[in-house]
Amino acid sequence: MLLRKLMIAALPLLATGGYGQTTMAGRIDQKAQALEKRLSEWRRDFHQNPELGNREFKTAEKIASHLKQLGIEVQTGVAHTGVVGLLKGGKPGPVVALRADIDALPVTERVDVPFKSTVITEFNGQKTGVMHACGHDTHIAILMGVAEVLSSMKNDLSGTVKFIFQPAEEGAPEGEEGGALLMVKQGVLENPKVDAIFGLHIDSQIEVGKIGYKPGPTMAAVDILNITVKGKQTHGAYPWSGIDPIVTSAQIINSLQTIVSRNLNLTQAPAVVTIGMINGGIRQNIIPESVKMVGTIRTFDEKMHTFVHKRINDIATNVAESAGAAAEVKIDILYPVTVNDVPLTENMIGTLQSVAGKENVNLISAKTGAEDFSYYQQKVPGLFFFLGGMPKGKNVADAAPHHTPDFYLDEGSLVLGVRSLSRLTTDYMEKNKTGTEKGKTKTK
């Protein structure tokens, strides 16, 4: 009987492989699993009450309240509406930052779920719905869960955790600063100085339970393109009396597409030039004086980046001139390339494989989407990976992409997200008790 009691008492240790780091991993997994229902509740609350960039007031209040209840030091009002939590472990070690973005998008939701967003606002002079159409609601819930798990193990942590809840990842309102760049400017990676940063992004086209990653350049640099074409206004019935900026703009748009298809060696790196908005005219029988176009540029290579900018300017100005019009080109650099630190990625990928199963952690191609997580990675080694949010068995072609009204996520990966970020934190701390070198992970 005594032997049987001893065996039963040993089961928790056997389940987690004994003491030390493996026991901590087991505890993390158990605590994360216990949060499953609350993770869903948090996510649905944020989804139903979305807020645009630099206006995430209620979102920030909920996050700050949660962190304070956990006994975490909290700083609010960072980069307007950002929240930063600091958790000091019971043992010395490196400082690990974890980041979640908290803003929503000007998208009107079409998905029929009980927690559907019905929020309406005005954006760029137009009435629009507001929706978490990129999954930032899940990112908030996951990082709140990580904060709860790690704070409950505070005394066992060999280092410090900095929780960064960042506003305006999708871009600040016109005329304002915001996002990761402003957080970095305001010292979010200092006091204490961060040694490494981890972040994740839910992906509606990766199956639940799976993780995607890529060392090196992972997401594109993004620039905002503005072109103003100036013609000569006239009556629509007498086009020969003016200079038509609409026809000229159409020719410019078509010519811009030859940059990627005819000027770039796409075997080296992908690139995208897209015009997403065009405005000109006020009436069907008036040829307007000017047309404004706005678009996006995506590149992964610095030489390609410079070349694309030059070609856009050359094409727009020369095509306009050939029509007797004039074109003004303005390009605003928004985010640099998201580059996963190679040594850090190689050193930590085993943790993700341990959490999700080696068969569920896949090397992926670079994405032409962009992320201002790149600004943190310019300062400290960082790893940014992708968490599956597509229902199991669904065809990728049928899964609505991000930033669309039909965007939908399966919540089955919320616990995996908490486990992943928590385990990356504790494993990194364990491997780097002696500190880090810039751009290189030192193992114990």
First to last CA, the chain: 43
Length of the chain: 444
* Last-in-domain residue among 318, 335, 352: 335
pTM equals: 0.88
Q: Is residue 82 part of a domain?
A: yes
pLDDT at 23: 86
CA distance 280 to 5: 81
* Last-in-domain residue among 288, 308, 335: 335
Q: How many domains does the chain have?
A: 2
pLDDT at 434: 63
Label the pairing between strands 91-101 and 196-207: parallel
236 shares a domain with 202:
no
126 shares a domain with 230:
no
Q: Is residue 281 part of a domain?
A: yes
Q: Is residue 439 part of a domain?
A: no
Q: What are phi and psi of 156, to 5 degrees?
A: -95, -5
Given a cut of 60, whether residue 240 has pLDDT beyond it is yes
Residue 444 pLDDT grade (very low, low, confident, very high; cuts 50, 70, 90): very low
367 shares a domain with 298:
no
145 shares a domain with 271:
no
Residue 18 pLDDT grade (very low, low, confident, very high; cuts 50, 70, 90): very low
Given a cut of 60, whether residue 8 has pLDDT beyond it is no
Cβ 221 vs Cβ 370: under 8 Å: yes
Region at 281 (left for phi over 0; alpha for psi -120 to 50; beta for the rest): left
In three-state secondary structure terms, 429 is: helix
Cβ 63 vs Cβ 83: under 8 Å: yes
Catalytic residue from among 36, 289, 328, 411: 411
CA distance 286 to 202: 47
205 shares a domain with 267:
no
241 shares a domain with 382:
no
pLDDT at 291: 98
% of the chain with per-residue pLDDT over 70: 93
377 shares a domain with 300:
no
| Close Cβ partners of 258 (under 8 Å, ≥ 6 residues apart) | 315
Given a cut of 80, whether residue 436 has pLDDT beyond it is no
Q: Is residue 20 part of a domain?
A: yes
pLDDT at 124: 85
Instruction: State the burial class of residue 379 (Cβ atoms within 10 Å of its Cβ: 0-12, 13-18, 19+).
Output: middle
156 shares a domain with 26:
yes
For residue range 197-223, list pLDDT tens digits in order: 999 999 999 999 999 999 999 999 999
Q: Where are the beta strands (DSSP E) in 147-271?
A: 158-166, 196-207, 211-213, 216-219, 221-230, 234-235
211 shares a domain with 151:
yes
193 shares a domain with 143:
yes
**Residue 335 designated active-site:** yes
Name the average pLDDT for the chain. 93
| Close Cβ partners of 444 (under 8 Å, ≥ 6 residues apart) | 430, 431, 432, 433, 434
**Residue 371 designated active-site:** no
Q: Is residue 442 part of a domain?
A: no
Helix 414-431 to helix 342-356 angle, to the nearest 10 degrees?
A: 130
% of the chain with per-residue pLDDT over 90: 91
For residue range 110-120, list pLDDT tens digits in order: 999 999 999 99
201 shares a domain with 284:
no
Position 288: which residue type? P
Distances in whole angstroms, Cα of residue 399 to Cα of each of 115, 303, 405, 407: 19, 34, 12, 8
Position 420: which residue type? S
Q: Is residue 199 part of a domain?
A: yes
Cβ 207 vs Cβ 362: under 8 Å: no
- Single out the residue of 34, 156, 22, 109 nearest to residue 405, CA to CA: 109
For residue range 380-422, list pLDDT tens digits in order: 999 999 999 999 999 999 999 999 999 999 999 999 999 999 9
For residue range 338-357, list pLDDT tens digits in order: 999 999 999 999 999 999 99
pLDDT at 435: 46
pLDDT at 427: 98
Q: Where are the beta strands (DSSP E) in 239-302?
A: 272-280, 286-287, 290-299
Q: Is residue 130 part of a domain?
A: yes
CATH of the domain at 310: 3.30.70.360
Catalytic residue from among 335, 375, 376, 408: 335
Token pair for residue 327?
A: 């074109």
Segment 417-433 mean pLDDT: 97
Q: Is residue 352 part of a domain?
A: yes
Q: Give the CA-trace dihedral at 373, 392, 210, 218, to 10 degrees.
A: -40
Distances in whole angstroms, Cα of residue 177 to Cα of each of 1, 82, 112, 220, 253: 69, 13, 35, 21, 30
* Last-in-domain residue among 286, 312, 335: 335
197 shares a domain with 117:
yes
Question: What range does the domain containing 427 cover?
Answer: 10-218+337-431
